[in-house]
Amino acid sequence: MSNVRRICPQCGQDSSLDARFCVRCGYDHEAALPARGNSLPAVVGRAALPVLAGVTSLALRAGWRLLLRKLNQRVSAPLSPQGAEASSTQVPARARPMPPQPAEPRRRRVIHIRSTWAVGDAQGVWRQGSAEHTIEIEE
């Protein structure tokens, strides 16, 4: 069996691989190594970005449609037959009941979002995963 030793970059003394500090000069061998960190949260954040963008887009579209419907209702409100010259005894146009309008057929929209990711670290360990989201909207 071979005996692998670590050479101190500061003084040249050899020591075992298990030793953190050099026995001659006290150099910290592990301080020179890159810090181990978990990159998984960053990957999950990037995978969630398409979902967030889709939900934001749908919310904006729904808000825009509601705004357009309110504006159309205000514009299409019936006026009194005599216009602005109506007497004060007449019921205002907004107080009169509106005739029922035919209901628009509701459209259903389904959005599928699939995100996959894979990440490897310095030790060669790979992690991978996928997420699938379905969003259903009735317009």
Number of domains in the chain: 2
* Interval 54-67 mean pLDDT: 88
Task: Identify the residue whose tokens are 């504006």.
Answer: 71
Cα 74 from chain centre: 36
Q: Containing domain of residue 25, as a range?
A: 1-33
| SS3 letters across 62-79 | HHHHHHHHHHHHHHCCCC
Token pair listed for 2? 């071979």
Helices (H), the chain: 40-75
Grade residue 86 by pLDDT with cuts at 50, 70 and 90.
Answer: very low
* Interval 6-18 mean pLDDT: 86
pLDDT at residue 84 tops 50? no
In a domain, 86, yes or no: no
Whether 27 and 48 map to the same domain: the answer is no
Residue type, 80: S
Whether 5 and 69 map to the same domain: the answer is no
Grade residue 93 by pLDDT with cuts at 50, 70 and 90.
Answer: low
Q: Strands (DSSP E) along 24-125, which ranges?
A: 108-120
pLDDT at residue 70 tops 70? yes
Instruction: Give 99-128 pLDDT, tens digit per residue.
Output: 777 766 778 888 888 888 888 888 888 888
In a domain, 93, yes or no: no
Whether 2 and 69 map to the same domain: the answer is no
